Structure 1
């Protein structure tokens, strides 16, 4: 139906609406695995997850098994987790240390940490053969595109496409803000991942990250309960961390609209450019002094006062500078998505910053939390509801304006915090990268 039909795929994304097949079609999902995720830069992992030589991290991206490996010289290399001989995965654990080389568990072919051939059993049996001239004799295959930006590791599966810097552009400032909150510019993933498999399409979860209209209704019961507990307290009373983090979810439409957003090319965005639900966290004097000593008064103030609600590095990563947390979106099927929530420990910063990140992840992203439970229920309800007859389209009309917002790639621009242009931008990027090299007219 859609294979090698780029025009038909593009027609699913219109100026002010998208077709339900973007969420429901398993065929489109399989084409995403083949085309879309080959053309975009996807977050793989963080360098702190492989601190020592021989450390590895495995991850499937778009159905391809990959492994990120710390090299003896301190560099990072990303290769396909596939023996060049028969195709067995070299490592089956999610992480570990392979020592000074990889050894295939099937026939004991071995490779250096950089993937180059090291040894094969019964070596004499290959003399006079074409092994050295073919792919199997070259060692492990490297992922075509790899970029390490301030210890964040991204991959592009295609050998062609936009460079890392061109693809992300201004969006990388969100990573800068996250890392610069460490006075020495060093972050470490800590506390493990909070993982949640949701029975919905990955794009549904991703667009919700930019949806500021839903908290007032979706999370009404959680914020009502929090407000009831805090009702008799003085306005300036110090708040427990959980209250500090949950109460802003009940802010009105005007608050969310006025927080502002910024639309960036290629699906990226920043939500909460003026302020956000994270802007009112208690200040930490000693930490702010350390930041001023490290960065100077002006830059330290700029870093600490910039607290976007969410920054999306399309299509796989959502960043929160304060609290220091990220979400990673891992598509599994048309109706199944794995969401990982990670917390960072900032070197040179008080432990309270790390505790905030852990607390926020538990409070908001845990499938057992009062916030995520609401979202998950509605995502799965939407995935089912879209099968209903009579209307095959999803509305994205809010704040749609003919003209510059009509078609084509958008230049960076500021919008109000409830604008659905933030979401329309994601779907435009999806259509562009999905059809980039598909068919003769792509």
Structure 2
């Protein structure tokens, strides 16, 4: 039976291992929906997805349907996607424009863009009733905890836990590095989205973002095939051309253990991390002299160099957002059930930058994160195999022992070797912290 007391749940995360119930228990997932996801800041969307008044983005976080809405004055607001009357969702499309108001398709109750009540049919029938004094008369509920940072929108569903900057802290540098790659400091999501539903627990996917030991075995066939196709190409082949772009992106997956170990990693409080603080599989992309000149003109020599030299493999804003500043792409992790996870891969266009940067992002997402990817299908097969394999009896624990050092338990931000499982242990310690924050012993 899954424990429901804070102390018992915290015991599922030990210093160097975690219990398999974290991946398998539907009851524990239900508690995550109630506690963990309410106590942590979740990525909702990007401001560029709702550019004009009345534009909305519909997202479900921890089972709650939400709307990101552009207001008439240009502000952003996050509302519950439900009518205050009977609970019908006001919009059913993933995005669109509602015009100047929301209208419920059930009984035609209408609301202003900020969620305030606008009109209801048969208004006289509500005179001398309690409607105006109760929640149903107040209109669409607005989230209290919303943060906009460099056009990235985050929400916290509950009242417990730290504020936005207290929660993300130095992990926000990943978003700075992504946005600052635009000479104008602005990004736009373009090119649609690649969505995949993986039949595994969301933590498996999140761990893999920081796993540098698996590429040599998991992706061996893909990199071997790429090497055969690229064999014989001259060293000065036009690496920035479209024909070479895919090879430039996939071949580094075959780098050896030493490469991944030396790339380094950094963990921050609250589960956040950066993999590839020294270099990464993205560091060898072809240089673009005109773009680099535009960056120097916009940011100055020193700052432009700092931005462009930093190309981490993955930066994780725990628990919902994985960032690649080069190529300019993000993955969003949306848990649906204990064994079902929605992964969204989005590409950014850096305003004022050449088209090739956007092409890199689109190519990388198709190559690595598409449901038909030559890379992702390897990972998906193993995630789903793990979900099944953990049903086997005889060992209730998942090992996270590699490079464990008891001194890490007392430290905050730490920089370690790139194959160190501290990057994963850090995630689970944050899970235990925020999972039990609002629980009773």
TM-score using structure 1 length:
0.97
2:231 matched residue in structure 1 = 231
Task: Give the match for residue 348 of structure 2.
Answer: 344
| Rounded Cα–Cα distance in structure 1 between residues aligned with 2:267 and 2:307 | 20
Does structure 1 residue 222 correspond to structure 2 residue 222?
A: yes
CA distance in 1, matches of 2:238, 2:123: 71
The 8 Å contact of residues 38 and 158 in structure 1, kept in 2 or not, is answered as yes
Classify 1:98/1:3 alpha carbon distance in 2 versus 1 (closer, same or farther; 3 Å).
Answer: farther
Asked if structure 2 preserves the Cα contact closer than 8 Å seen for 1:335 and 1:383, the reply is yes
Unaligned segments of structure 1, at least 5 residues: none
The equivalent residue for 1:84 is: 84
Tell me what 1:435 maps to: 436
8 Å Cα contact 2:55/2:96 also seen in 1: yes
Residue 154, structure 1, aligned to residue 154, structure 2: yes
1:226 to partner: Cα distance? 1.4
Cα deviations by residue, 1:12-58 (Å, 9 ceiling, x for unpaired): 10000001111111111111111110000001111111111001111
| Aligned equivalents of 2:391, 2:106: Cα separation in 1 | 45
Q: Is the 8 A contact 2:2 2:25 kept in 1?
A: no
Query: Paired residue for 2:408?
Result: 405
- 1:27-106, aligned counterparts within 5 Å? 27-106=27-106
2:333 pairs with 1:329: yes
Q: Secondary structure at the match of 1:380?
A: helix
2:364 counterpart residue number = 360
1:200 match: secondary structure: coil
Number of aligned residue pairs: give it: 437
Most deviating of 413-422 and 114-123 = 114-123
Match of 1:391, SS state, is coil
Match of 1:282 in 2: 286
State the secondary structure of the residue aligned to 1:338: strand
Deviation by residue 1:357-407 (Cα, 9 ceiling, x = unmatched) = 0000111111211111110111111111111111111100000012x324x
1: CA distance, partners of 2:127 / 2:288: 68
Shift of 1:144: 2.4
Question: Does 2:155 align with 1:140?
Answer: no
Distance in 1 separating the partners of 2:236 and 2:13:
47
1:250 paired with 2:254, answer: yes
TM-score, structure 2 normalization: 0.97
On the 8 A contact 2:175/2:323 being kept in 1, the answer is yes
* Counterpart secondary structure, 1:57: strand
Runs of 4+ with deviation above 3 angstroms: 1-4, 234-239
Find the aligned partners of 1:252 and 1:234 in 2 and give their Cα distance.
22
Deviation of 1:3 after TM superposition, in Å, equals 5.6
CA RMSD of the aligned region, Å?
1.1
Residues 238, 383 of structure 1: CA spacing in aligned structure 2 closer, same or farther, 3 A cutoff? same
Deviates most, 317-326 or 103-112: 103-112
